Chains A and B, each alone.
Chain A
Amino acid sequence: SQQGEEDPQALSIQEGENATMNCSYKTSINNLQWYRQNSGRGLVHLILIRSNEREKHSGRLRVTLDTSKKSSSLLITASRAADTASYFCATDAPWSGGSNYKLTFGKGTLLTVNP
């Protein structure tokens, strides 16, 4: 079963606007990561936030994490047409109760930024 669930499934905005995507998850995590995927390409890591962090910034990206609500948000400010892509959250947690960790991905948010 998938741990993370993004909301909304699709988002269409104009260039220059901000885009906010949300992610909810079910179990305890070590960290939460956001990835971007351009159509037909592999995933590219954007940002990692650890379970003891509440907010993190990287350029135009701002990620928040609320472990009490088991949710995270990704904010892209001053969006550009080149930001058009699918965005996935992934939760990093021990697998099957053992010491190995694995990432579990949500279904993603398709962001379209119109010029």
Chain B
Amino acid sequence: NAGVTQTPKFQVLKTGQSMTLQCAQDMNHNSMYWYRQDPGMGLRLIYYSASEGTTDKGEVPNGYNVSRLNKREFSLRLESAAPSQTSVYFCASRKRQEETQYFGPGTRLLVL
């Protein structure tokens, strides 16, 4: 039982490049989330998926898109990376809303 896994662990992009961050969970959770964490800040919600087949914007969705590929996988795409998107990205999941979230190890993204 791997929990929540994220790939890649670290990525360097040039401004304007695109990339997809992958997230998968093997806990049969319904809800999945993408957050970003910047120095000295808490986590800010980018997008979430309350259940398979649905996605919704969080607090800071601009510059990102998501895909809930199936119940296990929730990907985050940067179409045209900007230096302001330099951050650590965390994926999380939970079985039901109103319960504990489980986090992945994070992806460190540097946009030059």
Question: Which chain B residues have a beta carbon within 8 Å of chain A's beta carbons?
Answer: 4, 33, 35, 40-45, 48, 50, 56, 58-59, 90, 92, 97-106
Residue A88 CB within 8 A of the other chain: yes
Q: Which of B42, B98, B99, B106 contacts A105 (CB 8 A)?
A: B42
A45 CA to B59 CA, complexed, in Å: 22
* Closest A-B pairs by Cβ, 10 of them: A105-B42, A101-B97, A42-B103, A105-B43, A43-B103, A45-B100, A107-B42, A100-B50, A42-B105, A106-B42
Q: How many A-B Cβ pairs are below 8 Å?
A: 58
Which B residues are in CB contact (< 8 Å) with A95? 56
Give per-residue flags for A26-52: 1 if the beta carbon is below 8 A from chain B beta carbons, else 0: 000011010100001111110010000
Residues of B within 8 A of A40 (CB): 106
Further 19 A-B residue pairs, CB within 8 A, beyond A35-B103, A45-B101: A4-B42, A31-B98, A42-B90, A42-B103, A43-B90, A43-B92, A43-B101, A44-B103, A48-B99, A88-B42, A100-B50, A101-B98, A102-B45, A102-B97, A104-B45, A105-B35, A105-B44, A106-B42, A107-B42
Residues of A near any B CB (own CB < 8 A)? 1-2, 4, 30-31, 33, 35, 40-45, 48, 88, 92, 95, 100-108
